[in-house]
C-alpha cells in the first residue's frame, strides 16, 4: 500500500469528507485531490504532518506504512460516522445513554 492508499483509507475511517480534511489541514480541495487522486503526489513534510494530525495517525504511518496507524477500530469508526449523521438532540441523548451504560 502506498501513501495515497493509506491517506484515502484513513480519510474513509475518519468519516470526514476530503474537503473537510483539506480545510482542517489548511490546504485546498484541489491540492487534496492531487494527493488522493490517480497521480498520487506526495505532499511536502509540513503538509504531511498536518494531514496526519487531522487524521490522528503518525506521519511515519502515512508515508511508510510503519508506525502508529489509527487506533480506532473500523467498527468504531463506522459507529462514529453514523453518530455524526444524527441531529444534535439525538446525539446528546445517545451520549447520555452511553455514559450511563459505561458507569455500570
Q: What is the pLDDT of residues 71-93, one digit of tens each?
A: 566 677 778 778 888 898 998 89
Rounded Cα distance between 2 and 61, Å, is 10
Task: Give the residue-averaged pLDDT of 20-36.
Answer: 95
Residue 32 DSSP label: H
**Closest to 94 (Cα-Cα) out of 103, 102, 104, 83:** 83
Q: Cell numbers for 50, please give them.
A: 498536518
pTM: 0.66
pLDDT score of 74:
64
Biggest CA–CA distance in the chain, Å, is: 51
Amino acid at each position: 500500500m502506498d501513501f495515497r492508499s493509506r491517506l484515502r483509507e484513513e480519510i474513509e475511517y475518519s468519516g470526514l469528507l476530503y474537503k473537510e480534511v483539506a480545510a482542517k489541514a489548511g490546504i485546498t480541495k484541489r491540492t487534496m485531490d492531487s494527493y488522493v487522486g490517480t497521480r498520487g503526489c506526495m505532499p511536502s513534510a509540513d503538509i504531511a504532518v498536518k494531514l496526519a494530525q487531522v487524521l490522528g495517525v503518525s506521519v511515519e504511518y502515512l508515508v511508510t506504512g510503519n508506525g502508529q496507524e489509527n487506533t480506532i477500530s473500523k467498527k468504531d469508526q463506522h459507529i462514529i460516522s453514523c453518530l455524526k449523521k444524527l441531529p444534535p438532540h439525538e446525539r446528546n441523548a445517545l451520549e447520555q445513554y452511553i455514559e450511563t451504560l459505561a458507569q455500570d
